[in-house]
Amino acid sequence: MGTIGTVRHLRGNLAAIGLTVLVLAVLGVVAGYVWSALAPTAQYVLIDGTPHLADPESQSLIEADGWFAVVTGAFGLACGVAGYVLSRRRPVEVLIGLAVGGLLAGYVAMLVGGTAKGGIQAAGPDGYTTTTSLDLTAHGVLFAWPLLATAVFWVIEFAVTYNQRGGPA
């Protein structure tokens, strides 16, 4: 393959990675709104401009992290399956796109979902009762999307190649 062929091949590889990352980033916006719709928000009381949890024993912060993991994990599973089905000519490039794009999509979902809720709800003698925007307290859940997308891609690849080779020897 000459220099021109190498450049075309490299350009095709980068285009496949870039397209995968771009599609996943857009899906991150959708996932952010889904997370925002499903996750509970924590109630805060503003006292002298400082937010304090209205109920210190509230589990809503943990629930928000859980819902984020569920939503982005489901998107990751779907993207892994779709990525495998659509990656016949460039599977390695799509897999790289799933990993990088999944990280970006999770971050975008966190930003979008985090800004979709919040506002002052009522004034009381102790201060203003408010809900804040959603936030992650366990940042490890940002890896749910890329981890599940790449894992399902490899599981499908293993199952297909295992069957093509005729199973166990």
pLDDT at 120: 46
Q: How confident is the model at residue 136 (pLDDT cuts 50, 70, 90)?
A: confident
- 122-132 residue pLDDT tens: 455 555 555 56
- pTM score over 0.85: no
The contacts of residue 31 (CB under 8 Å, 6+ apart) are: 71, 72, 75, 105, 106, 108, 109, 112, 113, 145
Phi-psi region of 75 (alpha: psi -120 to 50; beta: other; left: phi over 0): alpha
Is the CB of residue 118 less than 8 Å from the CB of residue 133? yes
H or E, element range at 43 = strand 43-47
Region 78-102: mean pLDDT is 94
- 42-52 residue pLDDT tens: 766 666 666 66
Region 58-83: mean pLDDT is 91
For residue 71, how many other CB atoms are within 10 A of its CB? 26
Residue ranges covered by each domain of the chain: 3-164
pLDDT at 75: 98
